[in-house]
Amino acid sequence: MCRVKESVVTTLLIVGGGAVDDQTVTAAAVRPPSLLPSRGTGHQVVVELLLHGPLTRGELGLALGLTPGSVTRAVRPLLDAGVAAELDVVLGPGLGRPVTPIELVLDRDVVVGVKITAARVWGVVAGLRAEVLHEASVELPSTDPVVVADAVADIVRQLLSQCPDTAVHGVGVSVGGQVDGAGRVRTAPLLGWVDVDLGGALRQRLALPVVVDNDVVSLVRAERWLGAARDLDRFALVTIGAGLGYALVVDRVILELPSSARSPIAHVPLGIGDGVCDEGHRGCASSVLATAAVLARAAGALGRGGDVSLDDLLAAHASGHAEATAVVEEAAEALGALLALVADLAWPRAIVVTGDGIGLALASRDVVDAAMRARRAADAEPVTVDLQATGFTRWARGAAVAAVETFVVGAR
Ligand SMILES: [Zn+2]
């Protein structure tokens, strides 16, 4: 995959009164088109194989409600084009009649995913099953929308230059804020944005299809597709970091909020600690669990000014610093209380917890679990809590999944 193979084209330059010159130019920007069908039964087969493959013709027929003849007619062009292949014959169920599973050949189709934070832009180029092929990140000198759009366009070009012979289905960009269907960011508090046409700015710069997505929704897309929660009918995702994010998936549908800019869990009352959030709540989730609140208490505990990182706090906790441990455990208790609320009100089978503040939970998992248990009824249905230490690459991968869902699965 991503073999380096430059297309070479020859152009004729006509100069002045008809003098002709040959010039050979390297056209790395010339990319092959995708051979995947974007509509009709062929597209349905591709999506089914993408989500569930490899599958036999019989399984495809059952899943799509197609006759054997229709399946054969849909599959043949895919085999002929080389975008699908027959695997080795296996014995089928029941009487064990030999069957031939079919799988997609996806080594020439990619998407790009980009996650924007206030400090950096993180990007990946990924295959259609969101396997990361290349990754890169770049620091942002400011969050000015023009600066950010330029940085995103640069990182997309840089990533795609590493796989010039691939077909690019589109670019997914995730941002912490409220985004409309056209890619306009209504608000993004951590970037200081109000009504920024990020999608339009990127389409202009890249000449590629672009979808802009809320970052937590993108992350939950990746969990639903590929993560531990893939086979669960109902799961929740909680992110802890600069903000507190929440998403709920029911029967594989992500319940999207009317406004995803304001996290529904950021200000729920937990009654823990004596901190006050910027909205004046004492003991709400943000006042005790958001990174800024944790670091403010860490600075006091470690006897420093404002220059304390989460890593500093966790290192002090690991070395037995009692005050640092108190700060970490207060945050862990708050997380446990928050997860108890999610478990009792949304009834998920599992809760995935991630985000750049996840180190707090990993460092005191027992406190998280105990606080969650203590706040729930003794006979409450247990809920699996999956703490995932993930970097921003995973968020960028979520944005890549948004591109797959929009431009491959949703293609018509
Ligand atoms: Zn609050």
Cα 269 to ligand 1 centroid, rounded to whole Å: 8
Cα 203 to ligand 1 centroid, rounded to whole Å: 37
DSSP label at residue 284:
B
What's the pLDDT at 27?
A: 33
What's the pLDDT at 9?
A: 30
Domain 40-104 fold: Arc Repressor Mutant, subunit A (1.10.10)
What tokens were used for 220? 């939950």
Cα 168 to ligand 1 centroid, rounded to whole Å: 42
Q: Which helix (H) or strand (E) covers residue 114, if one does?
A: strand 109-116
Cα 402 to ligand 1 centroid, rounded to whole Å: 30
Cα 284 to ligand 1 centroid, rounded to whole Å: 5
Q: Which long-range contacts (CB under 8 A, 24 or more apart) does 131-137 make?
A: 132/393, 132/397, 132/400, 133/1, 133/2, 133/162, 133/163, 134/2, 134/159, 134/162, 134/163, 135/159, 135/393, 135/396, 137/392
Cα 170 to ligand 1 centroid, rounded to whole Å: 38
Yes or no: say if 145 and 196 are a contact pair by the CB < 8 Å rule: yes
Please list, in sequence order, all residues whose beta carbon lies within 8 angstroms of the beta carbon of residue 333, skipping any fewer than 6 positions away.
272, 367, 368, 371
Of 98, 42, 38, 89, the closest CA to residue 70 belongs to 42
Tens place of pLDDT per residue across the chain (412 aa):
554 333 333 222 323 333 333 333 333 357 888 899 989 999 999 999 998 879 999 999 999 999 999 999 999 999 999 999 999 888 777 667 788 999 999 989 999 999 999 999 999 999 999 899 999 999 999 999 999 999 999 999 999 999 999 999 999 999 988 899 899 999 998 899 999 999 999 999 999 999 999 998 998 888 887 776 677 889 999 999 988 989 999 988 888 776 645 678 999 999 999 999 989 999 999 999 999 999 999 999 998 877 899 999 999 999 999 999 999 999 999 999 999 999 999 999 999 999 989 999 999 999 999 999 999 999 999 999 999 887 788 899 999 999 999 999 986 4
| Domains 40-104 and 110-221+393-409 agree in fold | no
Cα 111 to ligand 1 centroid, rounded to whole Å: 38
Q: d(Cα 136, Cα 154) in Å, to the nearest integer?
A: 11
Cα 335 to ligand 1 centroid, rounded to whole Å: 15
What's the pLDDT at 258?
A: 64
CATH label, 110-221+393-409, candidates 3.40.50.300, 3.90.1720.10, 3.40.50.1980, 3.30.420.40? 3.30.420.40
Cα 172 to ligand 1 centroid, rounded to whole Å: 31
Cα 225 to ligand 1 centroid, rounded to whole Å: 32
The amino acid that residue 412 corresponds to is R
What's the pLDDT at 23?
A: 32
What's the pLDDT at 390?
A: 74
Cα 307 to ligand 1 centroid, rounded to whole Å: 24
List the chain domain ranges.
40-104, 110-221+393-409, 225-390
What tokens were used for 404? 């797959």
Cα 193 to ligand 1 centroid, rounded to whole Å: 21
Yes or no: say if 371 and 257 are a contact pair by the CB < 8 Å rule: no
CA distances (Å), origin 151, targets 7, 216, 218: 26, 21, 20
What's the pLDDT at 7?
A: 31
pTM (global) more than 0.85: no
Cα 289 to ligand 1 centroid, rounded to whole Å: 10
Q: d(Cα 17, Cα 339) in Å, to the nearest integer?
A: 76
Write the CATH number of the domain with boundaries 225-390: 3.30.420.40
Yes or no: say if 200 and 177 are a contact pair by the CB < 8 Å rule: no
